């Protein structure tokens, strides 16, 4: 069964992002892969002449992120927060004990606090606020009675909830909390910056406790490409999984409206890598350690 390894983020300034994710969000040094380059990396990333720094950080409560800083070719794309109506990876989310203290840390560490998004979910007395990292990645803060301070989930804007659920069930996730918010709540419009938005938020949890949020927006219409974006595009880039049999998993996921690119399939002396996408263009990486003979 695949096991979530990490979430990837393409950054414009590695030192600035290292400072932000450690000082503001509580991640700690985990693995530094140094300079990543060579023919195998060109092939699996589908980028010619690739040269990048890859540094992994881990929070004490488990989640791992990989910061990708492309030296060549340079990364591209807007460094602004994505709309929650745009297909693909939308945000990362945290439960916090003190939203104002977290917001101050975020601002002090080079992020941006979007105070106009502060909202109150009356159903469970949850306060929400969006911030962004130095490259525009949405960071959702949530304060809710009885919820311990921790990393909560990553959000994905999707087209078809049933298709997305079947896909992520094949990656080891099972349905968890489900919120149908289809009455045009004012607070929901505030936090999403989309007045009148109606949606369903289906949480999916794996055996290790990792959670993803599948966001199906009913109104207004979502937009954007549902094809995977290149890895050297600023912002959230991919979800990576360890897998003992990536070929079998790739075949199964391809039958569930995802796909994998055989031309990007490489096996190095230490690792096998496969790259593809889910039905909404989220890049999926399958990884298998290669055992020494």
pLDDT tops 80 at residue 285: yes
pLDDT tops 60 at residue 293: no
Query: CA–CA separation, 121 vs 135, rounded Å?
Result: 28
Query: CA–CA separation, 91 vs 86, rounded Å?
Result: 11
Query: CA–CA separation, 199 vs 268, rounded Å?
Result: 43
SS3 at position 217: strand
Per-residue pLDDT, averaged over 80-99, amounts to: 97
Local confidence band at 155 (pLDDT 50, 70, 90 cut-offs): very high
pLDDT tops 80 at residue 292: no
User: What is the value of pTM for the model shown?
Assistant: 0.96
Per-residue pLDDT, averaged over 114-126, amounts to: 91
Average pLDDT over the chain reads 97
Q: Return the pLDDT at 1.
A: 84
pLDDT tops 70 at residue 291: yes
Structural domains of the chain sorted by starting position, each given as residue range(s) with its CATH number in brackets? 88-219 (3.10.180.10)
Per-residue pLDDT, averaged over 88-105, amounts to: 98
Per-residue pLDDT, averaged over 24-31, amounts to: 98
Per-residue pLDDT, averaged over 111-135, amounts to: 95
H helices of 48-151, in order, are 99-108
Local confidence band at 281 (pLDDT 50, 70, 90 cut-offs): very high
The CA distances from residue 94 to 38, 97, 142, 152, 174, in Å, are 36, 10, 6, 5, 20
Per-residue pLDDT, averaged over 109-126, amounts to: 93
């Amino acid at each position: 069964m695949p096991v979530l390894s990490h979430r990837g983020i393409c950054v414009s300034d590695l030192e600035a992002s290292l400072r932000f994710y450690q000082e503001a969000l509580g991640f700690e040094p985990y693995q530094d892969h140094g300079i990543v380059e060579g023919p195998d990396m060109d092939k699996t990333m589908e980028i010619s002449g690739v040269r990048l720094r890859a540094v992994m950080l881990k929070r004490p409560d488990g989640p791992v992120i990989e910061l990708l800083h492309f030296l060549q070719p340079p990364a591209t794309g807007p460094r602004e927060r994505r709309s929650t109506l745009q297909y693909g990876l939308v945000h990362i989310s945290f439960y916090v004990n003190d939203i104002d203290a977290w917001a101050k840390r975020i601002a002090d560490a080079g992020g941006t606090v979007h105070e106009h998004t502060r909202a109150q979910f009356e159903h469970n007395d949850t306060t929400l606020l969006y911030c962004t990292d130095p490259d525009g990645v949405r960071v959702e803060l949530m304060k809710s009675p009885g919820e311990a301070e921790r990393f909560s989930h990553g959000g994905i804007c999707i087209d078809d909830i049933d298709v997305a659920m079947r896909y992520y069930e094949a990656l080891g996730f099972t349905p968890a909390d489900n919120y149908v918010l289809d009455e045009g709540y004012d607070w929901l419009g505030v936090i999403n910056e989309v007045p009148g938005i109606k949606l369903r938020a289906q949480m999916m949890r794996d055996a290790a406790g990792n959670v993803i949020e599948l966001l199906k927006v009913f109104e207004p219409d979502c937009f954007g490409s549902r094809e995977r974006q290149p890895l050297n595009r600023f912002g959230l880039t991919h979800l990576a999984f360890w897998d003992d049999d990536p070929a079998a998993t790739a075949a199964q996921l391809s039958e569930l409206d995802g796909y994998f690119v055989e031309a990007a399939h490489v096996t190095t002396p230490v690792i096998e890598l496969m790259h593809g996408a889910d039905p909404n263009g989220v890049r999926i990486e399958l990884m298998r350690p290669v055992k020494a003979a």
